[in-house]
Structure 1
């Protein structure tokens, strides 16, 4: 009886290992053809059939320097620049309005689902190597740029807006020209918490942390921890040592 159980377990283990090997072969085969083209994005769909979902998928982008651009990504932009091994998840939208500048994603950048990257009216968006933008973020670079450094983590539901509508009383707001107080700059290794809003004319310093739900209207120094509406400096990371 014991010997029979061992044989059955060994059979199941062998069958499982064989299935895993075939799934890995399937994934790697299709990822060889992945890329930004229609066929390349179709290849990523096939490659993901046996892959784990959502945040378990960025490893697929490491299989091909052209990265992983999901079949469900919407790209309406004529100046998209991708580094090596970039991961762009399903339902991401990359959109260009009138006179919109480039969207540039550095090596190994991860953009997760339902995020919108949008440029217009002279603004551009750049994201440095090894940075990640998590689900449902909105990045609107109009008039002036959004520049995100390397190794930056941006949590879900964040919104970055470099511009405002004019509010003069003599005409409808929707008809007024866009205005900007300046660029949004996020320095290397910063961490932006869930639901943070960042407005134009702001620099968030290297290694800075912004707490969940904050509205950032002014600069955050290097290594600072800020939170609140509007965000204010709570302490420095060096104070935690």
Structure 2
């Protein structure tokens, strides 16, 4: 397979800067984003485009159906992502330099809100649903692919179909600054994961994880402290 074609670097730079400054969520803005990315390889190669304009880079294929969305400076949102507000009120805020990679689904609804702080990165196919309580993802947090955060659960009382039961929540989800969640981690409502904590791949987090801890398992439990690891 031939490498991705790039014409003269100076021409590409001028072309990209011209179009990226007109980017946005309206039809022309989406067209401008498509033009800006024309000579840049896909996926992570396009992160740099977000730094060429305060409005960042939002891939043309991104679906946004959210009237309480706030985007900071230099935000990157990759192909196939969905940002959705289902019903009622529910703010969604992506702060400066947040990176959201391919096919991430983020949703808010009644009583819920989502705040992703500066320089956090959400990797492919994560799902983040904030209903009835908030979800706060701190600065420099990394969510590996396929992580799922739900600030609610379905009622399971007998004598009624689960689909007909009201949603329930034990409280907000808070992911502290600098934490790292491995591939496929699931976090349930009412959980706080402390600053700089690490959660192993495939873990189910149902209770709080202290700062600077390494946790894993189903349910996730602390297996060591980061300061116990030799430098």
Mapped partners of 2:117, 2:17: distance in 1? 27
Which residue is equivalent to 1:104?
93
Contact 1:100–1:142, Cα closer than 8 Å, also in 2: no
Matched, 1:28 2:8: no
Mapped partners of 1:45, 1:102: distance in 2? 27
Contact 1:184–1:200, Cα closer than 8 Å, also in 2: yes
Q: Structure 1 residue runs of 4+, over 4 Å off? A: none
Show structure 1 runs of 5+ residues with no match.
1-15
Deviations, residues 127-185 of structure 1 (Å, cap 9, x unaligned): 00000000000000010010001110110011001111111112111001000011110
CA RMSD of aligned residues (A): 1.3
Mapped partners of 1:17, 1:87: distance in 2? 22
**TM-score, length-scaled by structure 2:** 0.95
**TM-score, length-scaled by structure 1:** 0.91
Matched, 1:235 2:224: yes
* Structure 1 residues 17 and 195, CA gap change in structure 2 (3 angstroms): closer
Partner SS, residue 108 of structure 2? strand
Which residue is equivalent to 1:119?
108
Residue 26 (structure 1) shift? 1.3
Mapped partners of 1:18, 1:66: distance in 2? 25
Which of 156, 161, 164 is the equivalent residue of 1:167?
156
Contact 1:36–1:66, Cα closer than 8 Å, also in 2: no
Which residue is equivalent to 2:167?
178
* Count of residues in Structure 1 that have an aligned counterpart in Structure 2: 226
* Structure 1 residues 71 and 18, CA gap change in structure 2 (3 angstroms): closer
**Deviates further, 24-33 or 200-209:** 24-33
Deviations, residues 209-235 of structure 1 (Å, cap 9, x unaligned): 001110000100000000111111010
Matched, 1:146 2:135: yes
Contact 2:194–2:209, Cα closer than 8 Å, also in 1: yes
Residue 18 (structure 1) shift? 6.5
Deviations, residues 11-37 of structure 1 (Å, cap 9, x unaligned): xxxxx9972222222111111211232
Mapped partners of 1:52, 1:162: distance in 2? 36
Matched, 1:81 2:81: no
* Structure 1 residues 19 and 232, CA gap change in structure 2 (3 angstroms): same
Mapped partners of 1:192, 1:230: distance in 2? 14
Which residue is equivalent to 1:4?
none
Partner SS, residue 71 of structure 1? coil
Show structure 2 runs of 5+ residues with no match.
none
* Structure 1 residues 48 and 171, CA gap change in structure 2 (3 angstroms): same
